[in-house]
């Protein structure tokens, strides 16, 4: 059971920029006949008229939590989350040298049952909201570090096209089988 006390299994689709998190989340939600929580930061940042501030990071943290809360009752056994607020910590550390204290306090309390860490083996896709095409390896290492520090249950998903999707499904199915056998 995840940290919110429900019987809904929370699957987090995470990773560096341009690894297909949104596309993967939509695919998994359709495959498992459930809903997926979009990345709050994307919609938030699209509306910004100036560079992102530390306060914006805090706003995105609370927005992501609220969005998950709104989608949870609509989930069908699984809730697929297109990223998590760990992203706020990673971006804040990179851009401002530290993360909001509220994010740091909440990280160990707001866990997911399984994290799918999408690999950087797919081609970079330009997007006005993406900033670091030359730092993908760095951010992949950061994601590993952050997930390990949380003692998170995670699987790296690599490959292209259908192969990538099938590896994600296999990872979730393996998790579900293990959970059913416990």
Q: For 138-179, write each residue's pLDDT tens digit.
A: 999 999 999 999 999 999 999 999 999 999 999 999 999 999
What local confidence, expressed as pLDDT, does residue 134 receive?
75
Residue 75 forms part of a structural domain: yes
Distance, in Å, from the CA atom of 172 to the CA atom of 163, rounded to the nearest integer, reads 14
For the domain that residue 68 is a member of, what is the CATH number? 3.40.50.300
55: pLDDT strictly greater than 80: yes
Sheet holding 114-118, edge to edge: 35-37, 78-82, 9-14, 114-118, 154-157
Query: Would you say 18 and 124 are in contact if contact means Cβ atoms under 8 Å apart?
Result: yes
Residue 4 forms part of a structural domain: no
Q: What is the DSSP letter of 35?
A: E
What local confidence, expressed as pLDDT, does residue 130 receive?
47
At 106, the pLDDT band (50, 70, 90 cuts) reads very high
- 123-149: per-residue pLDDT in tens? 766 655 546 667 789 999 999 999 999
* Count of the separate structural domains present in the chain: 1
Mean pLDDT in residue range 61-82:
96
Residue 123 forms part of a structural domain: yes
Residue 3 forms part of a structural domain: no
Pick 125 or 32 by higher pLDDT: 32
Pick 4 or 132 by higher pLDDT: 132
What local confidence, expressed as pLDDT, does residue 131 receive?
61
Distance, in Å, from the CA atom of 38 to the CA atom of 58, rounded to the nearest integer, reads 17
What local confidence, expressed as pLDDT, does residue 125 receive?
65
Residue 1 forms part of a structural domain: no
- Supply the range of the domain harboring residue 158: 9-181
5: pLDDT strictly greater than 60: no
Residue 63 forms part of a structural domain: yes
For the chain, the C-alpha Rg in angstroms (whole number) is 16
Residue 135 forms part of a structural domain: yes
């Amino acid at each position: 059971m995840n940290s919110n006390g429900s019987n809904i299994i929370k699957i987090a689709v995470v990773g560096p920029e341009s690894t297909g998190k949104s596309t993967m989340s939509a695919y998994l939600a359709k495959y498992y006949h459930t809903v997926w929580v979009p990345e709050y930061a994307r919609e938030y940042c699209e509306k910004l008229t100036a560079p992102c501030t530390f306060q914006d990071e805090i706003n995105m943290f609370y927005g992501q939590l609220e969005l998950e809360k709104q989608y949870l009752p609509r989930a069908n056994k699984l809730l697929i989350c297109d990223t998590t607020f760990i992203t706020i910590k990673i971006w804040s550390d990179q851009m401002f040298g530290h993360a909001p204290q509220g994010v740091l306090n909440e990280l160990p309390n707001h866990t997911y049952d399984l994290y799918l860490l999408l690999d950087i083996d797919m081609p970079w896709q330009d997007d006005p909201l993406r900033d670091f095409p030359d730092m993908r390896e760095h951010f992949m290492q950061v994601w590993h570090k952050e997930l390990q520090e949380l003692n998170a249950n995670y699987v790296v998903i690599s490959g292209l096209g259908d192969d990538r999707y099938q590896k994600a499904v296999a990872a979730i199915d393996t998790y579900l089988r293990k959970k059913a056998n416990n």
